[in-house]
Amino acid sequence: MDLKKRIEALGTMPGDLFQKDFLLTWEKSDASLVYILELAGILMQMRQENISSKVFDSGLAVSIFRDKSTRTRFSFASAANLLGLAVQDMDEEKSQISHGETTRETAQMISFLTDIIGIRDDIFLGEGNKYMREVGASLNEGFAKGVLPVRPGIVNLQCDMDHPTQSMADLMHLKNHFGSLENLKGKKIVMSWAYSPSYGKPLSVPQGVIALMTRFGMNVKLAYPEGYELIPEIVDLARNNAKASGGSLQVSHDMKAAMKDADIVYPKSWAPFKVMEQRTQLLTKGDKQGLVELEKVCLARNAEHKNWEYNADKMKVTKNQDALYMHCLPADISGVSCKEGEVSAEVFEKYRLLTYQEAGFKPYAIAAMMFANRFANPAEQLAKLLQKNEKRVF
C-alpha cells in the first residue's frame, strides 16, 4: 500500500500511547494495540523504501538488561538507531543498580538526556514489572519537579508477567501471515507447554501470548501437563478478554488433543508458576542448596513429559496438517540443540524461516512503542518525514 495513504489512515486512528509507558498489553486499549501494529508496519515499509525515519537528532535510548539477551538487545538497538537515538547500556557489571531507594535515584541519573528506557527483568516473580513501575514513578517525579527536561518513556523488554514486544511482534507476524487482524477471528491458536531439558524458563511469553491473542477473537487453547500452571490472574484476564472479543480460552492437559485443527501452534517450555514462586523465594534468600534441590526435582518432573514434543505426529492433526508454527527463539530442537526438546528437527526445519520472519517484526514493534510514546501525533511526524524524504542509505 502507498505509504502516504497509509500514514493518512494512521492519522484517523485513535490510540492512547503518548507519554504512556508500554508495560503490559492488557493495560492498553484495543485501539492502542492496533495503532502500534500499524505504526510498526509503516516504519518497516519506510525502511524497505529507503526513507529515513530519524526523528531524533540526538538523545539516548538506555537499555537495562538484568538477564542475558541477544534477540531483544539487538531489536532494541535497531529500533533506537532507526529513530536516531544512541543506545547506552546500563549493565549491572558496569555499575550498581538495584531495587528500592537506589532505583529511584539511578533512574534520574541515567535520564538527563534520555528519551527511552528499555528494561528486561524477568527472573524474580513479582519483581520485574514492579521494578519498571518504580523506575516510572521516579521519572514522573523528576519530570514534575523540573529535574528532567523530558519524561523518558519505558518499554518493557520482558518481565515476570508479560513480554509485550514479543507478543506484539508475534501478532504482527500473524496479521502479516493471515492478511489482516480481521482474518484472525475464529482462528485456533494453541499455546502449549513443551518439554525442555532445562527448567525455570520464564512465564512471560505464554502469558503474553494468551493475554494478547484472546483480544482479537481467536480461539486460544492453553495446553500443559497438570501442575504447569501460569499465573492464575493472567489466565483469568485472558478468559475475560476472550469473552469480550468473541473468542475463547480453553485449557487442555493433552498436547496432541489440543493441537486438533489448530491454525497456529506455539509449543514452548516454561516453569510452573508455583516453582517460580519457590525459586524466587530461594533466590531472595540466597539458598543455593535449596535451588540445587529444586532444580533436581523440577528436571525429574519435566522428564515425565518428554512426550510433550511438537513433531510430525502432532502436526498431522492440525489444520491441513500444516498449522503455522511459532516460537520466540531459540527453540530447544530435538537432536540439534539438545537430545530431546520442544520440537522435532524435521518440523522445526519446515517452519524455521517463518520463525525468523516472526522475529524480524520485533525491532519495528519496539520502534513503534518508542515513537508513539514520544510524539503526540505520530502520523503528522511521519508525513513530515515522508515529505523531507531523506534516504536511509544515501
Least distance from a second copy to the Cβ atom of residue 386, Å? 12
Q: Quote the least distance from Cβ 273 to a second copy, whole Å.
A: 26
Tell me whether residue 12 or residue 70 sits nearer to a second copy (CB atom): 70
Query: Are the C-beta atoms of 170 and 136 separated by less than 8 Å?
Result: no
| Residue 119 bridge partners (DSSP) | 64, 156
Nearer to a second copy, 5 or 68 (CB): 68
Can you say whether the dihedral through the CA atoms of 267, 218, 328, 96 is positive or negative? negative
Cis (ω within 30 of 0) for the bond into 272? no
The packing angle between helices 30-48 and 362-374, to 10°, is 110
Our CB check for a second copy shows the closer of 259 and 331 to be 331
CB closer to a second copy out of 74 and 254: 74
> Which residue type sits at 367?
A
Q: Select 53 or 214, whichever has its Cβ closest to a second copy.
A: 53
3-state secondary structure 134-193: HHHHHHHHHHHCCCCCCCCEEEEEEECCCCHHHHHHHHHHHHHHHCCCHHHCCCEEEEEC
Tell the smallest beta-carbon distance from residue 247 to a second copy (Å): 30
CB 45 → a second copy: shortest distance, Å?
A: 10
Q: Which three cell numbers stand for residue 45?
A: 515499509
Q: How far apart are CA 336 and CA 180, in angstroms?
A: 34
H or E stretch at 377: none
Give CA–CA dist 275/156, Å, rounded.
23
Closest CB 81 distance from a second copy, rounded Å: 5
Residue 47 contacts by C-beta under 8 Å, 6 or more apart in sequence?
53, 82, 392
Nearer CB in complex with a second copy: 69/240: 69
Closest CB to a second copy among residues 230, 324: 324
Q: How far is the CB of 71 from a second copy (least distance, A)?
A: 5
Burial class (CB in 10 A: 0-12, 13-18, 19+), 313: middle
Decide whether 8 or 390 has the Cβ nearer to a second copy.
Answer: 390
With H, G, I as helix, E, B as strand and everything else as coil, classify residue 198.
Answer: coil
Quote the least distance from Cβ 44 to a second copy, whole Å. Answer: 9
Q: How far is the CB of 93 from a second copy (least distance, A)?
A: 9
| Dist CA 108 CA 161 (whole Å) | 25
The CB-of-264 to a second copy minimum distance in angstroms stands at 19
- Dig out the grid coordinates for 164 from the structure: 509485550
Our CB check for a second copy shows the closer of 289 and 387 to be 387
Task: Provide the residue count of the chain.
Answer: 394
H or E element, residue 64: strand 60-65
